[in-house]
Each structure stands twice: as structure tokens, then as C-alpha cells.
Chains A and B, each alone.
Chain A
Amino acid sequence: MRYLPLTPDDRSAMLAAIGAKSIDDLFVDVPEAARRDGFVDLPRVAGELEVERALSAMAAKNATAGTVPFFCGAGAYKHHVPATVDHIIQRSEFLTSYTPYQPEIAQGTLQYLYEFQTQVANLTGMPVANASLYDGSTAMAEGVLMATRVTRRNKAVISGGVHPHYIRATETVVHAVGVETLALPAAVDAEAAVIDQIGPDTACVVVQTPNVFGTATDVTKIAEAAHAAGALLIVVVTEAVSMGLLKSPGEMGADIVAAEGQSIGNALNFGGPYVGLFATREKLIRQMPGRLTGETVDADGERGFVLTLSTREQHIRRDKATSNICTNSGLCTLAFTIHMSLLGETGLRKLALLNHEKAVATRDALAAIPGVEILTPRFFNEFAIKLPKNAADVVDTLAAHHVLAGVPYSRLAPDAGMDDVLLVAATETTLDTDITLLAKALGKVLAA
């Protein structure tokens, strides 16, 4: 077997050195009743060619975003990733290394994490960021829990513009520890509705900008209202590129930013692995979950980096940890930081503007279709439209004609009574011909 270096002679020699007669001697502690002789009922060893054929056959059954007019967003965005990124993350020293617990032989990882933390802090407009969490949705859940620890209050008010999967993932986890959540009804442009719900028991208000309907909001007044009541403001961002054009959450008064970094450096990958961005204020760093890289010096006075403030984490605090999280997003985090280093601020701002322009062009094309109502007043690269028909049915029909027209809101929230709402996203990868094809196809389906 190509991945197993031991030969039969090796095994004999090693058993002899151990003083065992057969490999079964080493499994002597397994209860008789649980021993399985022979092989589990699954296929036997397969060569590379066989495996490639089988998996390629599965892959071929999927419609890929790059081959059709593609307008899906709703928390995962198709952007172009430079070839350099994927090449670097496959280097042995990055792909096959472990968490940097021995910092003397992991400065590569530690330095890029330190650079990543700085990039994320600056991107979000916050003083400090961690070395990544699993994704945006779990980052939001962690943010709510952190707010309850900091304020010693027990309630989170969540805007109706937050991604329904994010709300559900947060509720699932925080309810387990007795934190109450109030999720306001879904609404295209109502982040500010959270203000009326802030009370003395509110630990945090959670808003998203741009929200799931694409609406970009200045949340400064919401921050002020929250702070006046002693609560924290958590800002969720699901499209990281938006921060290259829009005012940053930090600028607007966020205390915690929980964002999805997939847009930078990472492919769509059918939902994962992605990368959670988490940033906060200086005075809250000891309550932050996840890994943190810090600067220090070595025995010769040379600058170096180490994992730090580890006593918040599970391997030390155990049942009093800030979270149970063990891994970060490793390679996805590296991909993010490489892509961001290639873009630089100049490239990021350009990229963001291109995204916005494509989305505006798409909006203009769709607005001209009879029956289509544009719901989102101001957006970055995604907006919501109302159709005269069931949006999911329209999307399925268009898919059969090789157009991936967007995400029906009902897919995220079947009970919200918004079955006619479609979320449409455009990025720098969207061609003008794609927009024309979408408009034409949609017009046809609606007229039928």
C-alpha cells in the first residue's frame, strides 16, 4: 500500500524487538466480543487512478460557478483567487506542519498569523484580532457569549437582517448556557430596529452590514444606543471585501466584529472550510476566544512570535475556558493573508469598487424587467429583489437552463413569509454577458 512504508520483514524484525509473536498480541486488551477478524464490509485498496476516476465522476455531476452565469451569495461569494495563493499553501512547511506549540521551529506560521491579525484588525477598523475561528457563523456565536461574560448580562438582541443560518447557529449554542436571544423579524432595511429592544439586561445587540438582503447601514447610532445602555455592539460581516469600500465596523463603534473571511483567498468549496474573523477592543482581549499570536524576543534578543494568552483556552482552563475551540482555520487563514498581501489596500479598494459596479449594473438590468421590484436601497455587491412568483421555483427553472440566478431567501428561512424574495450577488468575476443572460432568462420565466 503506497502510504505504508513498513515491509513484512520490517514488521517481523520489530515484533521480535518488542517480544511479541504477532500483531494480535499488541491488541490483547480489546475485549473478545469486540474483535473483528478480517475486514470491515467496504471496498479494498484502490490505486490513484481508480480513486481519481470515482471522485471525478462525482465532481462531474455538479454545475460549477465558473461555467455558468452565477449570482449566488448569501454568505459565500465567488471571487478570483490569484494562482500564487493556492501554490504557497501547498508548500510542505505550511500544509504538513502543526499548530505552532514549539515556536522555535514554527516562526513561519507564527509570523504569518501575526501579520494576519494585523490585517484583520485594520480591515475591520478594530485595535486587535485573533488568529481566526472556524467561520463567520461560529464567530458570531462566540461574540455573543463573550458579550455575556464581559457585561455579566444575559440577553442578546439580534437584527432581522442577520443571516438566518448565523442566527440559528448562535441560538443553538447560546441557549445551551441559558443565554436568551431575541431575533427580530426579517426585514430588508431594519438594523436600527434593535435600538428599541435594548434594555438593562441586554448584553449585546447584533447587526449585520451589509445584511443578508445586501443593505449597507451606518450603525453608529446603534453603537451609541447600545453603549448608553451598557451593552456591546457586535457587527457581523459576511462579505469581507465590503470593508474595502464601506466604513469599517470599528469606525462605526463596534465592540466585537464577527466576520466571514472566505471571500479573500478561499474558494466556495460548497460551504467549507471557511475562515472566521474576530476582532475586538483592547480592554476586552482577555475575554476573546481562539488563538492569539504575540510578539516577544528569544534568548539572544531576536524578535520572534509565540502563541500567547493561552490560559484563556481549553487546554489550560479546561472547564473555565473562554471557549472549547482548539483549531483555527490554518490553511484558509494563510490563504486569506496571502491574497490580502497581494491585493494591498490599493488592490482591495479597486476590487471592492468593481464588485459594487457589477452589482449596480445587475440591479439596473433586473429593475427593467416587468414585475421585478428592487428591495435593497443601498448595497455593496448583493441586493434583494421581489418577484411576482415563488423565488425558489424561478431559481430551479433557471438552473435547468444553466443560469444560477441567486439564492431564494426561503432557502435560508422557510417560515419568514418571504417566498418571493431572491438574493442576487455579483462580483468582479461577473461578466456583462452574464448579466444580459440573467436578465433575459429571468424576463422569460416571469413572463411565462
Chain B
Amino acid sequence: MKFTKDHEWVKVDGDIATVGISKHAADALGDVVFVETPEAGKTVSVGDSFAVVESVKAASDVYAPVAGEVVEGNAVLASAPETVNADPEGEGWFAKIKISDASQLDALMDRAAYDAYLATQ
């Protein structure tokens, strides 16, 4: 699993990247009340806002850590947004993206580096 400075995570299996927000981000947001996931077929570049997550007290854009085409948005989150709080780095994934350039992952942090980064925030 790799992480971005904006607290997204990405896990790659073949050429499909699953993307979500980190536990740190989910905890900071508080109870998630609404998630807007992208539709299949949407093309995203690195850094594009491709989803929105809302809690009672905050709303955040979620930025694509890799470029590619959205294969699937997590439909579970529409009816059960609390999944993001319960399992942010597993069942609470936001979207699956077919990546165009696997080398983009090299720029991201691994868990140790992300944890170290969190300590500086």
C-alpha cells in the first residue's frame, strides 16, 4: 500500500489500482455521512479531484494518486458511508482505477514513510 501527502492510499493488483483515504484522514473527518464516488469510464490525471467525502463538520475532495480510467466506484458507500470510518483502508475503498503508468507509484510514500510524515504534521 502506498500513500500520498493528501492522505489517499493506493493498492495495485496487476493494472488495477484501488484507492481510498487513510485511517488518519477518516479519523480527522469524523463520522462520514456522504460519499460521492466517480462513475466508471471517467478519466483522471494525478491530482484530479475524483471523489468527495463529507462528514458532519467537514467536506473534502479526494485526489487521484495515479492516472487512468475509473473502472468502478464503490457502490456500498452510497448507502453505507460509515464503512469509510469502520474500515478506511479496506472495505471503505472509493474507486478502482485502471492505471496507465505504474511508475507513478514510485513517487508515493510507503507506510513507514507515511507514518513518519504524519508525525511531522
Query: Which residue numbers of A lie inside 8 Å of B, CB to CB?
Result: 286, 310-312, 316-317, 320
| Of the residues A286, A316, A320, contact of B34 by C-beta under 8 Å | A286
Question: Which residues of chain B come closer than 8 Å to A286, judged between CB atoms?
Answer: 34
Q: Mark B44-68 against chain A: 1 for CB-CB distance below 8 A, else 0.
A: 0000000000111111010000000
- Which residue of the partner chain, among B33, B56, B59, contacts A317 with CB atoms under 8 Å? B59
> Which residues of B lie under 8 Å from residue A310 when comparing CB positions?
56-57
Distance in Å: Cβ of B56 to nearest Cβ of chain A: 7
A-B pairs with beta carbons under 8 A, tally = 18
Cα A298 to Cα B69 in complex, Å, equals 44
Identify whether the interface residues of A are mostly helix, strand, loop, or mixed: helix
Across the A-B interface, the 5 shortest Cβ-Cβ residue pairs: A311-B59, A311-B54, A317-B59, A316-B59, A316-B58
**Additional pairs, 15, CB under 8 Å, beyond known A311-B34, A317-B59, A320-B61:** A286-B34, A310-B56, A310-B57, A311-B33, A311-B54, A311-B55, A311-B56, A311-B57, A311-B58, A311-B59, A312-B59, A316-B57, A316-B58, A316-B59, A320-B59
**Residue numbers in A under 8 Å from B56 (CB-CB):** 310-311
Of A286, A311, A320, the most chain B CB neighbours within 10 A belong to A311
Closest residue of B by beta carbon distance from A306: B56
Closest to A315 in B: B57
**Cα separation A311 to B34 with both chains bound (whole Å):** 10
Question: Would you give the shortest CB distance from B62 to chain A, in whole angstroms?
Answer: 13
Provide the bound-state CA to CA distance between A311 and B56, in Å.
7
Look across to chain A and name the residue whose beta carbon is closest to the beta carbon of B58. Answer: A316
Query: CA separation between A316 and B57, bound complex, in Å?
Result: 7
- Kindly state the separation between the CA atoms of A286 and B81 in the bound complex, as whole angstroms: 15
Cα A286 to Cα B54 with chains together (Å) = 11
Q: Give every chain A residue within 8 A of B54 (Cβ-Cβ).
A: 311
Which B residues lie within 8 Å of A317 (CB)? 59
- A311: chain B residues within 8 A (beta carbon): 33-34, 54-59
The residue of chain B having its C-beta at the shortest distance from the C-beta of A317 within the complex is B59
A320 to B60, CA, bound (A): 10
- Give every chain A residue within 8 A of B55 (Cβ-Cβ): 311
Q: Mark B18-39, 1 if CB is under 8 A from A, else 0.
A: 0000000000000001100000
